[in-house]
Amino acid sequence: MATVIRSLDALPSTMRGGAVSVGNFDGVHRGHAALAAELVRLAREVGGPAVVMTFDPPPVAILVPNRPPTPPLTTISRRAELLGGLGVDGLIAYPTDRTLLELTPEAFFQRILVQRLQIRAIVEGPNFRFGRDRAGDTALLAELCKQAKIRLSIVPPAVDEQGEMISSTRIRRLIAAGNIEEANRLLTQPYCIEGIVSKGAERGKRLGFPTANLEGIRCLMPAHGVYGGAVPLGDAWFPAAVHIGPNPTFDEQRSKVEVHVLDWEGDLYGHHLRCALLHRVREICKFDSIEALRAQLRQDIESVREGTRAGLQRLASIPAERL
C-alpha cells in the first residue's frame, strides 16, 4: 500500500526528490497503470520515490460548492492500495483550498512541486492541466521543466482493444449503468464496494438466504440490480450474490445493499466488508409470492456460481489487502 500523506507539512524526506504524477487517479484504471509504470521507472532512474499527488476534496467541490457531490470510484485509501500494488511509494491527498486553487501554473509548479516536493521528474498525460483556471498545459509544463532541469515524460492516452480511450468518466458511466463486466475490463482490479455490516430486517435469513446489509458506502453505486461478486473472508475468497436497490416484493422503496455470501456461515455484524463486483445477474423485480422469490433466488445463486468462477480464480492470486 502506498503511504498516504495528507499535509505537505508532514511530508517525510523519503517522499521528496523523486518522480511525481499529479492527477485524480480515481478508479486506478489501465490508463493510470501506464502512468504509474512510467512514474516508477523514472523514480528509479533519479534515485527517489514514486509519488502520486491528488486532491481531497476534489477542486470542483470548492469551486462549485452548491453542486451535489459526485461519489468517487475509489476512496483515497483504496487508491493508495491500488497504486501501491503498481509500485507507487506515496500518495499525497492534498487538502484542497482556495489558496491552492488561486496559484498560477508557474506558482504551483515552483512552490508545490519544486520547493516542497523537490521533484526531479514528472509524469503526466497529454491532457494535463494545472494552476488557476486550469491555465497550464503540457507545453507550459515542458518549458518550466526545462528551466528547472526536471525530467518530463508525457504518456500517451491508454485505449482499449477497440481503440476507445480509457477514462474515469467512461468507467463511471458504465458502472452507473450496471455494466460491471465492461468497467472491470478497463480497471486494474475489479470494482469494489465496501461498508459496515448493519442489522437489517433479517428477511433474507428467514427465506434461507441470510444477507449482510452494507451501510456507509462512499463510492459510486452501480445501477439497481442483482450482481455476482466475491468477498474476502480470512485467507479465502467466497462468491456472493449482491442485491442493490429496493425490495418491491415487500413494498420497500429504500435502496439497500444486501450481500449473501455463499458457502460461508458466521456473524458479520459491525464488521467492515469489501465486495468485488464481477457481473450483473438481473434487474430488480417484484414477485407475486414468497415461493416465486425463493425460486428466483435459487436461480440467482446458480448464476452467481457460474458467473464468478473465472473471477474467483483471478482473485485468488491477488492478496486480499491489495484488492
Catalytic residues: 258
Cα of 14 vs its chain's centroid, Å: 26
Query: Strand ranges (DSSP E) for the chain?
Result: 3-5, 19-22, 50-55, 90-94, 121-124, 151-154, 192-198, 212-215, 225-233, 236-247, 252-261, 272-282
CA distance 46 to 18: 6
**Cβ neighbourhood burial of 65 (10 Å; 0-12, 13-18, 19+):** exposed
Q: Which amino acid is at 230?
A: A
> Quick one: cell of 246?
429496493
Task: Identify whether the C-beta of residue 275 lies closer than 8 Å to the C-beta of residue 247.
Answer: no
User: Backbone phi, then psi, for 108, in 5-degree steps?
Assistant: -60, -45
β-partners of residue 197 are 214
- Residue in this structure with the C-alpha cell 514514486, named with its chain if needed: 50
Residue 90's DSSP bridge partners are 3, 51
Pull the grid cell for residue 315: 482473485
Please give the torsion angle defined by the CA atoms of residues 122, 127, 130 and 136, in that order, rounded to the nearest 10 degrees: 100
